Structure 1
Amino acid sequence: MKTTARKMISALFISPQLWAIAFMALAVSPAARAATVEAFGQELSIPKNGGSGTILARHYITPTQICGQSTCTATDLYAYPDGGDVRSTSAVITTNVSGISTRLLINGTAYGTQSLSVTFSQPIEVQLLSDGRTNLGGSLAGLSSLPQYYTLRARFAPVFSIYLKGTITPIDGTCSVPSQTVKLPKTLINRLDRIGATAGTQNFQIQVNNCPKGYNRVGYTLDPVGGVIANSPGVLPLAGGSTASGIKIRVENAQGTPATLGTSITVDGYNKAAGGSFAIPMQASFIRTDTVTTLGTVNGALNVFMDYR
């Protein structure tokens, strides 16, 4: 009797819990360039008792809005604590709302007042952070007659001012997301016969538990450990312990469409008057990503960030 050796791969996909980390990603349309932008600009219901440094909200501003092109080069940044008149070199500055600070990131790095030579093609990010002071809520409008929090100079573009707008309402409590491990079945390598082929699908659910009442919206963001891979929707970078190559894990929604990574998604069913717990159906699969592969274990990790407003 002839025996045929079967070549297999295995995987471990880990989705760790993140606690009390909140942010929101507000959609910014690629409209014509403007000299000013208002970040947030609405009622913000956010957790009252976030730990110092916890991200509460995020707002994105595209290069097109800043310099009218897909790529800009920043030359100078000015940061104004409390939306006042005095500049600060600190990468994190206070807002005029007790308990809330802010920072501006270009290519993932936070800057205070300084001269720059930083080229960016991805949106810059303005964050609201919990800073350890008591969160009393209130308006982010600033203290001066021209209450910008940041002004940015970019090459071949007018000075760009960033204002923080919106009224913060503190809410007691956050949702919880339990940690889980998702194991994909061992799979024959010949089932992944070309780049983009998938196999070994495993269903799972993201549990969002005990959401309190009072938020206008609850969202979640799937954030792969190691960062989002450009032009590879839903695909996770290889995590520690991986021994295979040319094969990764792709996270998908229940219909098999690659999951949206790095963008806030609304938790369907959340009701401001009721709160509650929710299950988000997902699945994960092996995906071939290279012409050359080696057998082994494929590991990936995904953080689930909750955001509130």
Structure 2
Amino acid sequence: MKTAAERIFSATFIVPQLCVIAFMTLAVSPPAQADVTAFGQEVSIPRNTANGTVVARHYMTPQEVCGQSKCTVNKVIAYADGGGSPASTTIITTNVVGISTRLLINGRAYGTSYPGVAFTQPIEIQLLGDGRENKGGSLAGIHASPYYYQLSTSENYDFRIYLKGTITPIDGTCSVPSQTVKLPKTLIQRLERIGSTAGTQSFQIQINNCPKGYNRIGYTLAPVGSVIANSPGVLPLAGGSTASGIKIRVENAQGTPATLNTSIRLSEYNKAEGGSFVIPMQASYIRTDTVAKPGTVKGAMTVFMDYR
């Protein structure tokens, strides 16, 4: 019988199959106290999306909202169609057929309300498909001053959020086939201290059949499960894992920990050509705790495609 130091690990690392999962557009907001313009310019998104599918996102940090690392929103007023009557619903229509919008604080959506909620993570503004065909058009709103949200904070900052830009519908999206990556079995003695890695296995993320016409295509690597603080690229243990103190770290082809939960531009994509692409990656075991128990290590991540 092998001693604990000689027992081996095995791992299964799963990248689920996705066609269209989510669509994200990142933008930079102006300084605190200034009105915010979300999106802007041309936003190219898939023509037909399921009801509720997020097609674009804009973020506002606490520094941009109130000039501090933590802000408290006391009041939210949501204006449908960029200037209609205040709406209490968490999803409101824009004046572009097929596209609605939603504002989230700490991951929770708010319509017109008095939440009194503190936040340290960015506020998120989303554009969503609402089940109707996206026919494109301008987010200018129904009034000359087309703001969709008005927020007040306890730090005495009041500002409006404008949605601007021209929505251009594109037929088709990229596809991402699922795959299972198996790491080689590894002796625990090779993972002798926290941060040690072993059992590296190369793999590729395949992004297929991207159509022409998008201004930008990006991908986001999102761990299945909660994000592990101060552990770049590390996935939480998935169901079926019997080991402890050991996890899987996803890395780029050079061994640098992968950036998670951030949209990365697919630089090889050409608007005039479209096409299929591969992203070389690798995964390794990593020791994460002082006490480690041998067994099976499993982790998973989702690949979100975003378009604009």
The answer to whether the 8 Å contact 2:31/2:65 transfers is no
**Which residue matches 2:46?**
47
- What letter is aligned with 1:155? S
The answer to whether the 8 Å contact 2:33/2:158 transfers is no
**Which residue matches 2:9?**
9
SS of 1:64's partner is helix
- What letter is aligned with 1:14? I
**Which residue matches 1:253?**
252
**Which residue matches 1:206?**
205
**Which residue matches 2:143?**
144
**1:83 to partner: Cα distance:** 0.6
**Which residue matches 2:298?**
299
**1:4 to partner: Cα distance:** 5.5
Quickly say closer, same or farther: Cα 1:245–1:142, change in 2 above 3 A.
Answer: same
**Which residue matches 1:189?**
188
1:70-109 to structure 2, matched below 5 A, reads 70-109=69-108
The answer to whether the 8 Å contact 1:21/1:50 transfers is no
Task: Render the CA deviation track for 1:39-66: whole Å, top value 9, x for unaligned.
Answer: 0011011100111111101111000111
**Which residue matches 1:179?**
178
SS of 2:21's partner is coil
**1:78 to partner: Cα distance:** 1.0
Alignment root-mean-square deviation, CA? 1.3
**1:203 to partner: Cα distance:** 0.3
For 1:254 and 1:50, locate their aligned partners in 2 and report how far apart those are by CA, in whole Å: 33
For 2:31 and 2:91, locate their aligned partners in 1 and report how far apart those are by CA, in whole Å: 29
The answer to whether the 8 Å contact 2:77/2:111 transfers is yes
The answer to whether the 8 Å contact 1:175/1:212 transfers is yes
Q: Does 1:286 align with 2:298?
A: no
SS of 1:65's partner is helix
SS of 2:144's partner is coil
Aligned length: 306
**Which residue matches 2:28?**
28
**1:163 to partner: Cα distance:** 0.6
Q: Does 1:243 align with 2:242?
A: yes
SS of 1:173's partner is coil
**Which residue matches 1:269?**
268
SS of 1:174's partner is coil
Structure 2: 5+ residue stretches without partners: none
Write out the 4+ residue segments of structure 1 that deviate beyond 6 Å after TM superposition. none
**Which residue matches 1:217?**
216
The answer to whether the 8 Å contact 1:25/1:60 transfers is no
For 1:69 and 1:168, locate their aligned partners in 2 and report how far apart those are by CA, in whole Å: 33
TM-score (norm 2): 0.96
The answer to whether the 8 Å contact 1:151/1:159 transfers is yes
**Which residue matches 1:18?**
18
SS of 2:63's partner is helix
For 2:20 and 2:70, locate their aligned partners in 1 and report how far apart those are by CA, in whole Å: 34
Quickly say closer, same or farther: Cα 1:50–1:266, change in 2 above 3 A.
Answer: same
The answer to whether the 8 Å contact 2:27/2:38 transfers is no
Quickly say closer, same or farther: Cα 1:53–1:303, change in 2 above 3 A.
Answer: same
The answer to whether the 8 Å contact 1:74/1:119 transfers is yes
The answer to whether the 8 Å contact 2:152/2:159 transfers is yes
- What letter is aligned with 2:201? Q
The answer to whether the 8 Å contact 1:66/1:157 transfers is no
The answer to whether the 8 Å contact 1:28/1:62 transfers is no
Quickly say closer, same or farther: Cα 1:135–1:32, change in 2 above 3 A.
Answer: closer
For 2:150 and 2:93, locate their aligned partners in 1 and report how far apart those are by CA, in whole Å: 16
For 1:246 and 1:40, locate their aligned partners in 2 and report how far apart those are by CA, in whole Å: 42
The answer to whether the 8 Å contact 1:24/1:58 transfers is yes
For 1:295 and 1:21, locate their aligned partners in 2 and report how far apart those are by CA, in whole Å: 35
For 2:89 and 2:285, locate their aligned partners in 1 and report how far apart those are by CA, in whole Å: 44
**Which residue matches 1:132?**
131
For 1:273 and 1:145, locate their aligned partners in 2 and report how far apart those are by CA, in whole Å: 35
Q: Percent identity?
A: 70
**1:34 to partner: Cα distance:** 3.0
- What letter is aligned with 1:231? N
For 2:282 and 2:168, locate their aligned partners in 1 and report how far apart those are by CA, in whole Å: 36
